[in-house]
Structure 1
Amino acid sequence: MERKTLNLEAIDVKFDAARPGFFSGYASKFGGVDSYGDTILPGAYKKTLKKRSRPIQLRWNHWGPVIGKWLKTEEDEQGLYVEGELTPGHSVAQDVYASLKHGAVTGLSIGFRPVQINDHGDGRRDLKEIDLIEISVVESPADLAAQIGDVKSAIDQAQSLKEIEAFLRDAGGFSRADAVTLVARIKSLARGEREPELKTAEIAGLFQHFQFPQL
């Protein structure tokens, strides 16, 4: 699954004082070229928004808990317009709402799978159709390479299996069972490598498996 993040300045986020927990804005906009060289084209969301068997979930940082619900998700001439409501009384949702209003979080990020792509062959892609998985409120731009670096650093400095598991649970939102499984897999890969460090691609593959909920 891939991710795209828009900062608060770009999503036109708005709040309604009469409706605590409500906010609206754009989870994605058309036409721009992002840091990955991708451009999302108009029409990319039309099929995925129709006849869904499950609702699009509103999550915290992709791998965090469901913190509310999307009241509206529709494609217009600018991009993917959304209206969301954070769950009243939910401790994480309340913190997220306060951070959104304060401008302390980065914005919104979509989790998706590409369906139809025009690959230019030079690192640029036009995304003509995508399968939307979820939309998250995020605290910082999604960067898998940075997350891998954080985990590798923690592994290098950790003195025990428990320290690594604790890092994955606290920083990555992993369950205890997933943290144990991932650490065991990393150790298995490490024993099979000739080089002292794991290959980034292999760790990335593990994160793709564990990090995101399958809807």
Structure 2
Amino acid sequence: MNVQRAYSLFEVKALDDEKRTFSGWATTPTPDRMGDVVDPMGAKFKNPLVLLHQHDRYSPIGLVRFEKPTAKGIQFEAEIPAIEDEGSLKDRVDTAWGEIKHGLIRAVSIGFRALKYAFRDDGGIDFQEVEIYELSTVSVPANADALISAVKSMDGRPLSRDLLEQIKTLDFASRRSSPVQLIAPQTKNLNGAVRLIRP
């Protein structure tokens, strides 16, 4: 199993504008938007971890420290530095801080490698042991139904119930390998068909 991500909404408990720090829960043992559960007691990590923007490994925005895992989850405190030198780094971290400060970004996501896991009957995955290597600030992630709705609206015609079920089945099956993505037809006319690709 390759790189995995688990999402959680965070509540900014201690926002310090001068130090540009914020804290919240990196992960809890409740199902995320994909139906996956990360057992916090099975998490391995080494502080400090990199804080990314939207899981873009080329866009670090700060550092994060995780607290000791408990049965309730793993809390974190993150810092986004204030950069004085003008340039793209300053722009990136200032934008990231502004998104958090003004409530535009309300979710975080851990990036991890699964060490031990089991598939759930409801389609989710129980990650029993993981190695966490980053935390990202993210927009609220799209779930499978929202993605399918976006495909429906691309040519204005609804997809059949049968096709929707096939897509959901493919999504579930793909979780056992690499993900399947739905993409809009860009250059070829597919007569309303949906193209599935495996990256």
Q: TM-score, normalised by structure 2?
A: 0.64
AA aligned to 2:33 is S
Once the two structures are superposed, residues 144-172 of structure 1 have per-residue CA deviations (whole angstroms, 9 ceiling, x without a partner) of: 894x969833x616xxxxxxxxxxxxxxx
AA aligned to 2:7 is T
3-state DSSP of counterpart to 2:104: coil
AA aligned to 1:88 is A
Once the two structures are superposed, residues 39-63 of structure 1 have per-residue CA deviations (whole angstroms, 9 ceiling, x without a partner) of: 2224121xx225x8xx521100001
Label 1:42 to 1:134 Cα distance change in 2 as closer, same or farther (>3 A): closer
- Give the C-alpha shift of residue 131 in structure 1: 1.8
- Give the C-alpha shift of residue 108 in structure 1: 0.7
Label 1:38 to 1:82 Cα distance change in 2 as closer, same or farther (>3 A): same
Matched, 1:93 2:93: yes
Label 1:83 to 1:17 Cα distance change in 2 as closer, same or farther (>3 A): closer
3-state DSSP of counterpart to 1:93: helix
Residue 32 of structure 2 corresponds to 34
Q: Distance in 1 between matches of 2:135 and 2:40?
A: 18
Q: Distance in 2 between matches of 1:70 and 1:92?
A: 17
Residue 156 of structure 1 corresponds to 186
Note the residue ranges of structure 1 that are not aligned, 5 or more in a row.
158-189, 191-195, 206-215
Label 1:59 to 1:142 Cα distance change in 2 as closer, same or farther (>3 A): farther
Residue 59 of structure 1 corresponds to 52
Q: Percent identity?
A: 25
Q: Distance in 2 between matches of 1:98 and 1:36?
A: 28
3-state DSSP of counterpart to 2:33: coil
Residue 163 of structure 2 corresponds to none
Q: Distance in 1 between matches of 2:108 and 2:126?
A: 21
Could you tell me which of 73, 76, 82 is aligned with 1:82? 76
Q: TM-score, normalised by structure 1?
A: 0.60
Label 1:118 to 1:132 Cα distance change in 2 as closer, same or farther (>3 A): same
Residue 157 of structure 2 corresponds to none
- Give the C-alpha shift of residue 12 in structure 1: 2.9
**RMSD value over aligned CA atoms?**
3.3
8 Å CA contact retained: 2:49, 2:64: yes
Greater CA deviation, 35-44 or 94-103? Answer: 35-44
AA aligned to 1:85 is E
Note the residue ranges of structure 2 that are not aligned, 5 or more in a row.
84-89, 155-181
3-state DSSP of counterpart to 1:43: helix
Q: Distance in 2 between matches of 1:73 and 1:108?
A: 15
Residue 45 of structure 2 corresponds to 49
AA aligned to 2:111 is G
- Give the C-alpha shift of residue 118 in structure 1: 2.7
Equivalent pairs, count: 158
Residue 15 of structure 1 corresponds to 14
3-state DSSP of counterpart to 2:42: coil
- Give the C-alpha shift of residue 18 in structure 1: 6.5
**Structure with the higher fraction of residues in helix conformation:** 1
Label 1:124 to 1:141 Cα distance change in 2 as closer, same or farther (>3 A): closer
Residue 178 of structure 2 corresponds to none
